[in-house]
Amino acid sequence: MRLDKFLSSMGIASRSEVSAAARRGAITVDGVVCRDASTHIDPDRSAVVFCGRSVTYKKYRYIMLNKPEGYVSATEDGKDPTVLDLLPEEYKKFNLFPCGRLDKNTLGLMLITDNGELSHRLLSPKRHVKKTYVYRSKFPITDEEKELLESGVTLDDGYETKPSVIELDSGRDSGKITLTEGKYHQIKRMFESVNNKIIYLERVTFGPLVLDASLGRGEWRELNENEIKALEEHAK
Ligand code: URA
């Protein structure tokens, strides 16, 4: 890959900025000053330093966001802020998008990436990727309602939900629910089907990812290597 393409695709500088920096002698490749921006490098092996900053090649970006209320899971929206608005300016040049959707008032774990293929595989209904949500309902649920919700209920459009698992808290009006699918407003509609109402919903896991407790609402971080590997394994 050309040096200028490598640095611009990493979001470090535009191609013309790379050329200018190369001419100034501000770029080294494997410890040697490189004055020609069209030089071919090996993105996985060459040690590139741009203006004193070491640049590691990343084909894709993977971001864990703790979604706050009021943001929509979209790349753009005419009305509301999107989850991408929570990322700093330098990420705007990548084709990032949210992997899956959370409702505007749902909180918690959201994966944002530019890896379309991995995202597609993680969201495919065939893969049954598990998602766990902490919830609170308006009314406590009975054992019969819990069993119904777990074995499958019929939603308002006639869809029969797949089995889910509920861990109820002692008060019976809150707990955790784990689904292997993600229909529109699924958990809210599941609880409506038993004449109840979800009043708090926060996703805490997505496949192998667990919401990082150190992230405040609206905060994000890039996934570490282990998390990326686990996601790739999950999507196989
Ligand atoms: N189920 C819902 O009802 N809303 C979400 O955001 C996610 C799951």
Pocket test for ligand 1, best of 67, 72, 102 (most atoms within 8 A of CB): 102
Sign of the dihedral through C-alpha 160, 163, 165, 168: positive
Q: What's phi and psi for 234, nearest 5 deg?
A: -65, -30
Cross-strand pairs, 64: 111, 221
Neighbouring CB atoms inside 10 A of 236's CB total 6
Domain end marker among 15, 32, 55: 55
From the CB of 186, is ligand 1 less than 6 Å away?
yes
Name the residue with higher pLDDT: 156 or 11: 156
Residue 40 sits in the same domain as residue 135: no
The total of structural domains in the chain comes to 3
Percent of the chain with pLDDT over 70: 100
From the CB of 102, is ligand 1 less than 6 Å away?
yes
Q: Provide the CATH number for the domain around residue 167.
A: 3.30.70.1560
Residue 83 sits in the same domain as residue 180: no
From the CB of 231, is ligand 1 less than 6 Å away?
no
Residue 14 sits in the same domain as residue 111: no
Domain that holds residue 20: 3-55
From the CB of 106, is ligand 1 less than 6 Å away?
yes
Mean per-residue pLDDT of the chain: 96
- Amino acid, single-letter form, for residue 206: F
Pocket test for ligand 1, best of 106, 177, 191 (most atoms within 8 A of CB): 106
- Confidence check: pLDDT of 170 > 90: yes
Q: Can you give the pLDDT at residue 67?
A: 98
Q: Provide the CATH number for the domain around residue 68.
A: 3.30.70.580
Section 21-43 average pLDDT: 96
Residue 135 sits in the same domain as residue 201: yes
Residue 146 sits in the same domain as residue 99: no
Residue 117 sits in the same domain as residue 145: no
3-class secondary-structure state, position 102: coil
Q: Can you give the pLDDT at residue 11?
A: 87
Q: Provide the CATH number for the domain around residue 25.
A: 3.10.290.10
- Tens-digit pLDDT profile for residues 51-105: 999 999 999 999 999 999 999 999 999 999 999 999 999 898 899 999 999 999 9
Vertex 163: Cα angle to 201 and 226 (nearest 5) = 65
CA of 190 to the centre of ligand 1 (A): 10
Residue 9's pLDDT band (boundaries 50, 70, 90)?
A: confident
Residue 89 sits in the same domain as residue 68: yes
Q: What is the DSSP letter of 211?
A: -
Residue 27 sits in the same domain as residue 143: no
Residue 149 sits in the same domain as residue 163: yes
- Tens-digit pLDDT profile for residues 114-133: 999 999 999 999 999 999 99
CA of 28 to the centre of ligand 1 (A): 49
Residue 117 sits in the same domain as residue 214: yes
Pocket test for ligand 1, best of 136, 159, 161, 201 (most atoms within 8 A of CB): 201
Report the C-alpha gap between 79 and 69 in whole angstroms. Answer: 15
Residue 84 sits in the same domain as residue 104: yes
Q: Can you give the pLDDT at residue 169?
A: 98
What predicted TM-score, i.e. pTM, was given to this entire model?
A: 0.91
Name the residue with higher pLDDT: 236 or 213: 213
Residue 118 sits in the same domain as residue 215: yes
